[in-house]
Amino acid sequence: MLDRLVVLDHSSGIAGPYCTKLLADAGAEVLEVPPEGGDPLAGQGSGGLHEFLHRSKRVASGPWSSLPDADVLVTDQEVDVAELRRRHRSLVVVTISPFGHDGPLAGTPATEFTLQAWCGSTGQRGLPEEPPLAAGGRLGEWLTGSVAAVGALAALREAKRSGEGEHVDVAMLDVMATTMVTYPSVFASFGGWPTASGTGRVVEVPSIEPSSDGFVVFTTNSAQQFADFLVMIERPDLLEDEGLRRAAGRFERRHEFLAAVRAYTSRHTTEELLARAALLRIPAAPVLHGGNVEGFEQFAARGVFETMPGGGRAPRVPYRIGDDEGAGARPAAGKAVGGRGAPGGDGWRLPLDGLVVLDCTAWWAGPGATNVLAALGADVVKVESTARPDLMRYSSARPPSDPDWWEWGPLFHAVNLNKRAVTVDLRRPEGVSLFERLAAGADVVVENYTPRVMEQFGLGWERLHQINPSLLMVRMTAFGLDGPWRERTGFAQTMESLSGMAWLTGRPDGPPVLVRGACDPLAGLHAVFATLVALEARDRDGLGRLVEATMVEAALNAAAEQVIEHSRRGTLLSRLENRDPCHAPQNVYRCAGDDGWVALSVVADDQWRALATVVGEARWDDDPTLADADSRRSRQDEIDARIARWTAALAPEEAAARLAAAGVPAAPVVPPRELARNPQLRHRRLFETEDHPVTGGHEIPVLPMRFGHVDRWLRRPSPTLGQHNAEVLGEVEPDPARLAELEADGVLGTRPAGA
């Protein structure tokens, strides 16, 4: 669908190549311009991950000056963006870097591991009595590549219209600060910045628990799910225990409570536990890895994995558009997508300006997707009902005894900026009629219910396509529109476990550990990308399309290395705590102060020599048995002990600053809620103030990329429940008296039912 779009890929590693892989899989012609020295990823493991990221591309030959004109340049190298934009007015330049194009930390050495420490992700994970724990699998790079692909395609859309290109400045720290932690500073701000106590490191209780033949993850986000879980483990006596009803109370008594849980789960097979959880509608899943993920029944039924040309298996493209199922599929020749075109005549504007989106989503992944569409200029109308608002409203900083307590949900605010909101009860014919009239004038409908729900409302794809043949319907299912798991509910915990992400996180001698959240924004970004691709197709022929963006398949793409390595070499990647399979040393080290830690990651031999100088171990530099990463990994316990003696006398910030000044990637392990005070993020204006009619002014992280034409992403605060009923519904029902009747009858409203 992006044929005739020409993209130059001048990047290495995962983030840039995954950005251009997404573009190539949608039909773009991607030319690789390898960085000087090549891509280190090509020599790691079997080389299969490198092939996965580059298989739909071709290597360009000759110098830059001989390459064809391109529509998009994606680079993680030093380039003169201003000069490129001067010479090629309509070119979209996407730069990817650890900290962004400018700011006090720009140019500071960094790796995925140290950026996890900077963004608060490492600081939130693990047990209070143990060191902080990074997530395995380089998730920040996959997330950054997904953001970059969305930015590239959005900027290109406006470049075609106006003839004016763009600099899309993507910083990994910005991305990870909005995707690998769940807006901790917003929760703190809504709570009045209470005094922090303890380390802040927690795990869900219950979460990943042992079965007799593996591990199973259980999700008990609601009180009902937790009550049903107690019934499942045959402990209904605990239903009356007030101290276990809240997550904080369960964590405080985790040793006692988990002993009761594991006494039951360890006596039953994974299959038995999943069957019992399904009967009680408790979200649950097996914890899979590279050796068994292909055989999971849902993935096998849907044909999720395919054979790569060089051998081994890998996940397919994680979305479907109409009848197009996969990578490399090329539509028939038609109107050029990447053409430079004549300027629109009225100047640059937001890429999705003029588009109307009906947002039938809840929780994080779906609202996160429509939050991006709204930031990019779409008129997003959030559709809720008074009987069932978005339940993220109920994750509130205020108790139910407070007025308007449901308007104090920090996560709701964070992912519903720039939207308008209506309440329409779709269980009622009058509500369905209003929705159909809205859909007749919309461009996109996005929903993330389980598949049966929209059909039960009478609002499935066939009906919506009949109402509006040019409408896109984006269905953000957990597991897909078909297969044996079609109707099951899935959350981020489920996806982390099924994909193998959790398998890579934790201590080698301990159970897998949840990553905690990254799968929601990852799914949302892939849904946005698929929507932008489908819009390009609609621009050609005016026809609407069904878009299926499956949450678990987005997660599988970000965990692709595990199945690739196992299917190619029989290598089962597994947990290494805070160490790395290729580089050494890498770890977190205790510093002076209360629970102070510094993260350090050496990825090159010159960094090793610099480290030796900083910690005062000149003999390391002369020791041939430590000259390469393989040798250092074999002696990492010894090396770690010496580094820890050096860091013990220093504050985390001082240790990180000394190491970074010497060229060694390092970072303080930042407590999550302190993220908002990071000077680099403040310089890049990641936080903008929401002026809300109920909650007042609070800083909220916005879109984690900068456009040269955009000073501010936040234009409208998150909406109150039903705030725009008269404004929006009045466009399709002009009789105010009729709207008043519908509100009196409970079809519309501005307060949750029973509140």
**532-542 confidence digits (pLDDT tens):** 999 999 999 99
Mean pLDDT of 213-242: 94
- Average pLDDT in the 35-49 region? 87
pLDDT at 335: 27
Beta bridge partners of 319: 549
Stretch among 56-70, 124-138, 640-654 having the lowest mean pLDDT: 56-70
Q: Give CA–CA dist 125/522, Å, rounded.
A: 19
The first and second tokens of residue 19, run together, are 């950005």
**For helices 605-615 and 636-647, angle between their N-to-C axes, nearest 10 degrees:** 50
What is residue 521's three-state secondary structure? Answer: helix
pLDDT tens-place string over residues 357-385: 999 999 999 999 999 999 999 999 999 99
Query: Which one, of 671, 558, 677, lies nearest residue 181 by Cα?
Result: 671
Q: Which of 639, 488, 504, 519 is nearest to 571 (CA)?
A: 504
Any idea where the domains of the chain sit in the sequence? Answer: 356-557+688-709+721-734, 584-677
| pLDDT top residue among 59 and 525 | 525
Q: For position 691, what pLDDT does the model report?
A: 97
Two tokens, residue 389: 């608002």
**Is the pLDDT assigned to residue 569 strictly greater than 80?**
yes
Quick one: pLDDT at residue 62? 64
Largest CA distance in the chain: 86
Facing residues of 7 across strands?
Answer: 30, 72
Q: How does pLDDT run across 705-750, given as a tens digit for each residue? A: 999 999 999 999 999 999 999 999 999 999 999 999 999 999 999 9
pLDDT (0 to 100) of residue 333: 29
- Domain 584-677 listed as CATH 3.30.565.10: no
For residues 611-639, average pLDDT: 92
The pLDDT score that the predictor gives to residue 328 is: 35
Model confidence at 296: pLDDT above 70: yes
Model confidence at 667, pLDDT cuts 50, 70, 90, reads very high
Q: Which CATH number fits domain 356-557+688-709+721-734: 3.30.70.1350, 3.40.50.10540, 3.40.630.10, 1.10.274.10?
A: 3.40.50.10540
Averaged over 152-169, what is the pLDDT? 95
DSSP-derived secondary structure for 120-169: THHHHBS-TTS---PPSS-HHHHHHHHHHHHHHHHHHHHHHHHS--EEEE
- Work out the pLDDT band at 84, boundaries 50, 70, 90: confident
Q: Which two tokens stand for residue 258?
A: 């988990």
- The secondary structure of 213-228 as a DSSP string is SSEEEE---SHHHHHH
Q: Looking at residue 63, what is its pLDDT? A: 62
pLDDT for the residue 330:
32
